[in-house]
Homo-oligomer: A and B are copies of this chain.
Amino acid sequence: MKQKPTLKVIAKELDVSVSTVSKALRDSKEIGEETKQKVKAFAKLYNYRPNNIALSLKNKKTKTLGVIIPEIVHHFFTTVISGIEQHANDKGYNVIVGLSNESFRKEVINLEMLANGSIDGFIISVAKETLSVKDYHHLSETIDQGIPIVMFDRVIDEIECDKVIVDDAKTSKKAVQKLIDSGCKRIGIISTKDYVSVGKLRTQGYLKALKINKIDLNEDLILKIDDKFNSDDNLEFLEEQIYSYFKNNTIDGLFAVNELYAITAMKVARQKGLKIPEDLQIIGFTDGVLSKHAFPPLTTISQHGFEMGMESAKLLIERLENTNDEEEPFKTSIVKTDIIERETTKL
């Protein structure tokens, strides 16, 4: 096991100064051609790589992005990470991930753990618990300390920073409109409690679509699931709620605010003997593996997570590398959505 060579050992070995080695490797014109060759050859031989940590300390930049998300076992978030990684790597940045598990406390800890010089900036989608307790001090303090944050998907209006979202309301309106256009008369929605910003917005879109089409609102057709934490563990709970929803209501169109709700609804609908899409048409939000491979394959709205990730990384890195002394104003990027028509909708 050969130790990692440093400038110092190369210098000693070649009987020159540390500065000479450093400059030779960076091709400085201060150094003679002969010495340069010698140093470079030696460095290559011993596989010298500048120590990143030392550089970070000197430059006060780590070239590392901190990404904090609620959970990683989740198709949407992983596509976002892919996008972030891609752009970050292209720009020479690394990505460090922190998981909040939808917990406020863990989110704070993660933030603090990284906001001590480890990273240059954050990309974050806040935990449901954070949204529900409305305590954002950790975020504002981080920004105060000069560490930029980019929020994506689940964002907080009160915090000023760059944001990347889809236009949830508008997109949802479009989805519901499609259901209407396909002949649905009684359209339901399965959403989350309102503290989840995206759930709220998507519900608004639903409402708007009904209004525009002069369809009377029936409150019973709105099911708001309270899954403060991970809903994958509470599958039976979810099923129960949807089951009683179906028992009390007859619908021919359903808009679900995420994939899981959509396919779970499909499942209980099938148990009730409903044919999809003949008796019931369904559109989900988020295009994941589930939608793609469900039976029948689910028509969904694609949020283009990869693009969201790319865009988030782009905004963050731009801000980090912006050398203008004047602060750039904060931007909110809206990435477009698409309805991916599969087999749970007609036509």
Contacts and interface: CB of A to CB of B under 8 A. Distances in A.
Q: How many copies does the complex hold?
A: 2
Interface in A103-137: 112-118
Nearest to A114: B94
Nearest to A1: B146
Given A1-B146, A145-B2, A293 B263 contact: yes
B64 A73 contact: no
Given A94-B118, A118-B53, A1 B293 contact: no
A: interface residue count bin: 35 or more
A99 B118 contact: no
Contact of A3 (B53, B81, B146, B294): B146
A61 B141 CA distance: 27
A52 B53 CA distance: 10
Interface string A1-43: 1111000000000000000000000000000000000000000
Contacts of A290: 289-290, 293
A317 B44 CA distance: 31
A78 B73 contact: yes
Nearest to A85: B99
A53 B49 contact: no
A56 interface: yes
Given A78-B78, A96-B94, A49 B116 contact: yes
A144 interface: yes
Interface of A: 1-4, 47, 49-54, 56-57, 62, 64, 71-75, 78-79, 81-82, 85, 94-99, 112-118, 141, 144-146, 232, 263, 267, 270, 288-290, 293-295
9 shortest interchain CB distances as A-B pairs? A295-B295, A51-B117, A49-B116, A53-B117, A73-B78, A96-B96, A52-B117, A52-B116, A72-B78
